[in-house]
C-alpha cells in the first residue's frame, strides 16, 4: 500500500478543460492555451491534482480537434508549441499534472499519413488505414454504422476501395493492427512525454481495432442500453466486430511500457464506450494492472438515471466484473448533457442536486474527473438550431441536440462582456443562465456550489478512507443510498437522500466530515448528504 500512496492518480481528481470554451486570450472568439494558462491558479485553488486538455493539435476542426492532422503541432487557433510549454511549466509550478487527449483510433483525412495512404494501393502507407474492397454490387463490405449516422464506410475514387470511419467521414480509422502504425502512435506520444506531459487520456480507446474478417454486426436485442440515443441507428446494432477487439490489449502493453519509462507518476486514462456488460470486461482487459493502462473511464454515470438503485447496482457490478481495474468516475464531460440538467426533476433545486451529486461523486472509490463548469453547478445551455456547431446535433436535431449545450463559453464573470470569456464574439453563445452563476458571482459565497466543491475536495484529500479506501454498499432504497469506505483503521460512512423528505439514519456515531443543511449522523435532509467518520 505504500506504493499506492505515492501514486498521485489513485484517488486523484482530474479537471477536464475544453480549450475552445475555457478562456479566449486574443479576442478571436475561441479559447486558447494562453487563456488556460491565465486561469490555472483558479483550477489549482479547487484542490484538484491534474488537468486534462482535450485535443489542441493541428486540425481542420470537422470534429473540433478530434480529427487530428498533425499530432506534433498546436493548431494556430489555440496557439503555439511555446504556449503549450509555458502552460505545462505554470501547471507544474502550481502542483498540477498535465494530461493531453490522444486519439489512437483515427486521424483527420488531411493528415499526411492518410493523404499518402489513399494515393495508391502500393504506397508505403497503403495499409496504415482500414481499406476494403466493394461487394460485387458496389456496396460497402459490411453493415457497420458510424456513430455520427449512416454507414461507417466511404468510397474513395483514388483507390477504388472503401475506408472505415467510425465517426465522421473526415475521420478515417487507422489500422492499429499494423505494427508500423503502432510504432508511429508510440512515437507521437513520446514527443509529448519529452515535452513534460504527465500522461494521456486515450480517446475512444476500444474503437482502435476492428475485426479483420469484417464480419457483420448482429442486431441489438436491447438498443435502449446503447450509449447512443435511439434516434441514431447506431443504437440498433450489437457492436461485436467494429470495435472492442481482443488483439488490442497487447498493444496497450507497449503503451504502458513507454509510459513507465517516464516515471511512476506518469499515467493514462482509457475512455471505454460500449454496452454496460461488455464495458466491465473491457475495463479488466485494458486497465488496472502493471502492464495495462492505469485507469478506465466508462459511461456508467453519464445517463439520465439518478437513483440509489442505479448507483448501488453499478458499483456492485463493477466490483464483481472489473475488480482488477482502477476506475475514474465522471458525471459530466464535453460529450453529454451536464448532469445538473440531466438529474434535476421538476420542482427540485438544481443547486441542491449539484451539491448532492458532488458529494456522491467524491465519495466513490477510484479517481474522479470534473468537467469545467461542473464546480459552478452549470446546467446545460439552450442552443438554437441556427447557432449549432456540432455535426451530430445538426444530423439528429431535434430529437438529439448534440453536444454544444455543454461546450458553451466558461462564465468567469457574468457582469463582464461575454461573461469574461473574451472580447470577441464567442464561437458559441454565452448562456444567460450561466452569467448568473459565474466564478465572480460565486467567489466569497459560502453557500455557493463553488465553495462546496472546494470544501468536499479538501475533505476527500485529507481522509484516507475516501481517497483510497475499499467501498461497500450498505443500503439502497427508493431514496436512500448508504456507502461505507474503510482504509486501515479509518471508516467513513456516506449517506445520500435523493428524495424530498428528511430520512432517519442509523449509521453510528463519530465526526461529521461533510453534511448538507439538516443532515447529521441521525438524519439526512431532502436532497441531502452526510459523510461520517465512525468512532
Distance, in Å, from the CA atom of 153 to the CA atom of 140, rounded to the nearest integer, reads: 6
Q: Which of 271, 300, 335, 380 is catalytic?
A: 271
Take residue 218 and report the three cell numbers written for it: 448482429
Take residue 271 and report the three cell numbers written for it: 475512455
Q: Which of 75, 203, 227, 375 is catalytic?
A: 203
Three-state SS annotation for 77-139: CCCCHHHHHHHHHHHHHCCCEEEEEEECCECCCCCHHHHHHCCCCCCCCCCCECEECCCCCCC
Contact of 529 with 362, CB cutoff 8 Å? no
3-state secondary structure of 273: coil
Name the CA radius of gyration of the chain, rounded: 23
- Answer yes or no: 271 catalytic: yes
3-state secondary structure of 237: strand
3-state secondary structure of 254: helix
Write down the H helix ranges in 108-235. Answer: 112-117, 179-194
The Cα angle at residue 325 between residues 259 and 188, in degrees rounded to 5: 25
3-state secondary structure of 37: helix
Distance, in Å, from the CA atom of 297 to the CA atom of 280, rounded to the nearest integer, reads: 10
Q: CA-CA distances (angstroms) from residue 192 to 38, 71, 106, 257, 279? A: 21, 9, 18, 15, 29
- Answer yes or no: 382 catalytic: no
Distance, in Å, from the CA atom of 285 to the CA atom of 117, rounded to the nearest integer, reads: 31
Active site amino acids: 203, 271
Amino acid at each position: 500500500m505504500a506504493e499506492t500512496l505515492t501514486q498521485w492518480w489513485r484517488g486523484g481528481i482530474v479537471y477536464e478543460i475544453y480549450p475552445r470554451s475555457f478562456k479566449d486570450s486574443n479576442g478571436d472568439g475561441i479559447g486558447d492555451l494562453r487563456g488556460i494558462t491565465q486561469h490555472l491558479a483558479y483550477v489549482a485553488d479547487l484542490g484538484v491534482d491534474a488537468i486534462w486538455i482535450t485535443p489542441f493539435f493541428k486540425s481542420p476542426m470537422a470534429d473540433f480537434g478530434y480529427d487530428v492532422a498533425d499530432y506534433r503541432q498546436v493548431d494556430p487557433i489555440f496557439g503555439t508549441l511555446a504556449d503549450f510549454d509555458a502552460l505545462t511549466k505554470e501547471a507544474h509550478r502550481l502542483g498540477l499534472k498535465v494530461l493531453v487527449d490522444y486519439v489512437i483510433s483515427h486521424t483527420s483525412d488531411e493528415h499526411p499519413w492518410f493523404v499518402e495512404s489513399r494515393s495508391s494501393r502500393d504506397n508505403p502507407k497503403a495499409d496504415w488505414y482500414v481499406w476494403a474492397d466493394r461487394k460485387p454490387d458496389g456496396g460497402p463490405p459490411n453493415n457497420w454504422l458510424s456513430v455520427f449516422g449512416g454507414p461507417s464506410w466511404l468510397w474513395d475514387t483514388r483507390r477504388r476501395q472503401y475506408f472505415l470511419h467510425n465517426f465522421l467521414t473526415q475521420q478515417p480509422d487507422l489500422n492499429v493492427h499494423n505494427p508500423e502504425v503502432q510504432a508511429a502512435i508510440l512515437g507521437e506520444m513520446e514527443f509529448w512525454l519529452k515535452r513534460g506531459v504527465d500522461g494521456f487520456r486515450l480517446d475512444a480507446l476500444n474503437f482502435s481495432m476492428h475485426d479483420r474478417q469484417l464480419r457483420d454486426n448482429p442486431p441489438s436485442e436491447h438498443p435502449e442500453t446503447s450509449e447512443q440515443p435511439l434516434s441514431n441507428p447506431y443504437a440498433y446494432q450489437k457492436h461485436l466486430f467494429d470495435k472492442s477487439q481482443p488483439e488490442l490489449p497487447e498493444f496497450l502493453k507497449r503503451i504502458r511500457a513507454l509510459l513507465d519509462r517516464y516515471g511512476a507518476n506518469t499515467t493514462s486514462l482509457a475512455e471505454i464506450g460500449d454496452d454496460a456488460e461488455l464495458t466491465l470486461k473491457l475495463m479488466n482487459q485494458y486497465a488496472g494492472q502493471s502492464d495495462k493502462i492505469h485507469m478506465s473511464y466508462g459511461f456508467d454515470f453519464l445517463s439520465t438515471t439518478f437513483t440509489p438503485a442505479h448507483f448501488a447496482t453499478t458499483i456492485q457490478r463493477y466490483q464483481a466484473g472489473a475488480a482488477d481495474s482502477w476506475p475514474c468516475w465522471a458525471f459530466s464531460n464535453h460529450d453529454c448533457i451536464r448532469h445538473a440538467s440531466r438529474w434535476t426533476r421538476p420542482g427540485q433545486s438544481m443547486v441542491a442536486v449539484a451539491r448532492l451529486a458532488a458529494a456522491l461523486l467524491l465519495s466513490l472509490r477510484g479517481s474522479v474527473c470534473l468537467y469545467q463548469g461542473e464546480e459552478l453547478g452549470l446546467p446545460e445551455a439552450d442552443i438554437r438550431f441556427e447557432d449549432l456547431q456540432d455535426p451530430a446535433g445538426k444530423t439528429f436535431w431535434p430529437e438529439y441536440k448534440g453536444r454544444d449545450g455543454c461546450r458553451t463559453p466558461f462564465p468567469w464573470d457574468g457582469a463582464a462582456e461575454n461573461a469574461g470569456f473574451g472580447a470577441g464574439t464567442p464561437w458559441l453563445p454565452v448562456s444567460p443562465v450561466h452569467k448568473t452563476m459565474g466564478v465572480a458571482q460565486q467567489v466569497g459565497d459560502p453557500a455557493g456550489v463553488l465553495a462546496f466543491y472546494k470544501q468536499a475536495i479538501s475533505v476527500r484529500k485529507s481522509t484516507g478512507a475516501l481517497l483510497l479506501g475499499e467501498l461497500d454498499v450498505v443500503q439502497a432504497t427508493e431514496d436512500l443510498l448508504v456507502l461505507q469506505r474503510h482504509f486501515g483503521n479509518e471508516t467513513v460512512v456516506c449517506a445520500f437522500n435523493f428524495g424530498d423528505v428528511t430520512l432517519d439514519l442509523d449509521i453510528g456515531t463519530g465526526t461529521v466530515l461533510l453534511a448538507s443543511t439538516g443532515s447529521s449522523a441521525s438524519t439526512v435532509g431532502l436532497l441531502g448528504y452526510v459523510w461520517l467518520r465512525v468512532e
